[in-house]
Amino acid sequence: MTGFVSFVGSGPGDPELLTLKAVDRLRRADAVLFDDLSSGPILTHARPGADLVGVGKRAGRPSPRQDHVSRLLVDYAREGGRIVRLKSGDSGLFGRLEEELVALRDAGIEYEIIPGVPSAFAAAAACGIPLTRRLTARRVQFVTGHDASGALPGDLDLAALADPTACTVIFMGKRTFPALCTALTDRGLPADTPAILAEAVGTPEQQVTRSTVAELSASLSQDIGSKPALILYGPLAGI
């Protein structure tokens, strides 16, 4: 008999933000395949004796290929038992969930998806701001800052991203933000649009830096640092 896979969203890194269902699946898992940002204290909830396998990806660092991760997940499930695929934030948001679901479906393995606190919402909470405002900031947009090669995606909707009334959250965008900022200001986004760099959200190393898109672009052109981060910009980033 094949095993059963639980895709568990671990939230931004703070173990207190895990859902009760996430903790239950970790406590019952025979193996946990975890992302880099889902390690640390979150793994203390895993059952003693469970296999803990790091399969995380970090920009600029050696990382396992996605097809290897999918194959490893299938192989563990075929051995039977309960498998947890632990992903940071919510697994459905820039988490390569679909590739792994396809691999399980092709292998005839059953699964469930357990939502987690998305890092964008955790970042907004850490900054003490909402992501919407009645009447004047009704739209929120999430975008990835790099493509598979690490470059700024060439198919971004720059007109939408330059909308000064929207709240925009950029995932994995520190390296490419200077180029993106130039493209956005060329399309009319004011250079003094409020911006926030939220680093290592939900961990003891959390740091929030408030500036403008132009100031943040200049700063990241000099040094991007090593912490995972989200970039938020728009009218609500200034409150």
Active site residues: 35, 57
**Strands 229-233 and 167-171: what pairing?**
antiparallel
Structure tokens of 41? 């204290």
CB count within 10 Å of CB 178 equals 19
Compute the Cα dihedral for 173, 174, 177, 179 and give only its sign.
negative
Distance CA 75, CA 73 (A): 5
Partner residues linked to 34 by β-bridges: 54, 86
119 Cα distance to chain centroid:
6
**Residue reference for tokens 């390690």:** 39
Structure tokens of 1? 């008999």
Residue 159 CB contacts under 8 Å (≥ 6 apart), including other chains: 187
Distance CA 74, CA 52 (A): 15
Distance CA 123, CA 89 (A): 11
Asked whether 129 and 239 are in contact (CB, 8 A), the reply is yes
